[in-house]
Amino acid sequence: MQGIKEVFKMEENKIGFGKSSVTDVLMRKGIDLKKLEEEQSKLAKQLRLKDSIDFSQADRIGACDNLFLKNKIISAMIVCDTECSIIDQKYFTEVADFPYVPLFRAYRELPAMMACFQELSEKPDIIFIHGHGLSHPRLGLASHFSIATGIPSIGVAGGLVAGEIHGDYVVIGGKKVAKLLKEKIGSKPLFVSPGNLISLETAYELAKKLIRLPHKLPEPLHLAHRYAKEVIKTLKE
């Protein structure tokens, strides 16, 4: 795994911080990545990877996608029923206060996600997050969000940040942490991982059940992504 110095070198001059390097921004804001690593590892001990409810009875399904417009984050959430009809949708936008550093997405995106979640009038029984859950070396965005809200979560990602593929599974340290979802022919697989309060197999089965071809993502997440793009389009006008 890359060290912090290597990460700095790769991620300097990301959108939102002008000519300042990631190192400069972190030093100026007094952010200690080693302490955040320790915090992630400590929080990860709170994860519960068993089904906390009977998810076959869940009738409020949420999804969240975060996009960026220059230095602003747009966190978009939807809640839909079992037929994927939208019941509620909200978005929240603010200037990103944390630089982009791989493996620390939650510290950049979680504040906007929490603000957006508080605006929902209908709270979901389960929420899909466009990002990693257990398939993170310490604590993925989906897991962090679930710990903060108490809502069971599923991470859906388009690539890996850790682990190796063994058959249909992603394995970290000998433990299955994600499963490959390959429903759309000709497309690269998605990596489905439990965030918290749900098992790997249930997370995978629920994601698979909610695929609506030709869309690649589970439909709630597709709807959240579409909504986020609509918000960006409006903000640009």
144 lies in which domain range? 4-236
Q: Could you tell me which of 98, 87, 93 has the C-alpha nearest to residue 141?
A: 98
Helix (H/G/I), strand (E/B), else coil: 16: coil
User: Which stretch of DSSP H or E encloses residue 233?
Assistant: helix 219-236
Per-residue pLDDT, 128: 98
pLDDT means per 10 residues in the chain (237 residues)?
A: 40 44 82 94 97 96 96 96 97 94 95 98 97 97 98 97 96 97 89 98 98 96 98 91
Q: What is the CATH number of the domain that holds 88?
A: 3.30.2170.10
Q: Could you tell me which of 82, 74, 155, 157 has the C-alpha nearest to residue 109?
A: 74
Per-residue pLDDT, 181: 97
Per-residue pLDDT, 20: 60
Q: Could you tell me which of 16, 121, 136, 139 has the C-alpha nearest to residue 77?
A: 121
Question: What are the residues whose beta carbons fall under 8 Å from the beta carbon of 28, sequence distance 6 or more?
Answer: 20
Per-residue pLDDT, 140: 97
3-class SS letters over 168-184: CEEEECCEEEEEEECCC
Which pTM was predicted? Answer: 0.90
Question: Cis ω on the peptide bond leading into residue 214 (within 30° of 0)?
Answer: yes
* Number of domains observed in the structure of the chain: 1
Helix (H/G/I), strand (E/B), else coil: 128: strand
pLDDT per residue over 106-121, tens digit each? Answer: 999 999 999 999 999 9
Q: Could you tell me which of 172, 137, 179, 174 has the C-alpha nearest to residue 154?
A: 179
